[in-house]
Amino acid sequence: MQPVLVYDGDCAFCTTSVNFLIQRLRPTCAVTPWQFADLASLGVTQQRAEHELLWVSQVGTVYGGAQAIAKILLSAGGLWAWLGGLLTLPPLRWIAHGVYRLVATNRDRLPGGSPACALPADRRPGVRPAA
């Protein structure tokens, strides 16, 4: 099993960002929107998947937000891995977390974002409420 990158497939900003990362960095991982992932088998709740980008390691450890980005960079190798390593160390880790939260909170306002990015999952077009 290889690591799995889980993102919000309903969010245009997230989809565009992940596609950019995959095309440019070519990390070693499977990539799936949380809407099509078996979250239970990955050890992830829907609430967490809606909240942040996730990296699920080969042994099932889940990294979210800026640390998921660090794992993508580490997986890409070369100079990207060096940058990913830096993002795991304080104080850069703390700064990266703050920047990630700022971007994630405002993703509907960023280029490529759409109004659907800001809606709760149960109110997004095409998503049925949980029974």
pTM of the model: 0.84
Mean pLDDT of 52-81: 96
Mean pLDDT of the 62-87 span: 96
> Tens of pLDDT along 17-64?
999 999 999 999 999 999 999 999 999 999 999 999 999 999 999 999
pLDDT digits (tens, 9 = 90+) for 108-125: 887 777 666 665 656 555
Q: Backbone phi, then psi, for 106, in 5-degree steps?
A: -110, 20
The domain ranges of the chain are: 4-123
Q: Is the pLDDT of residue 107 over 60?
A: yes
Structure tokens at 10: 């309903």
Instruction: State the pLDDT at residue 69.
Output: 97
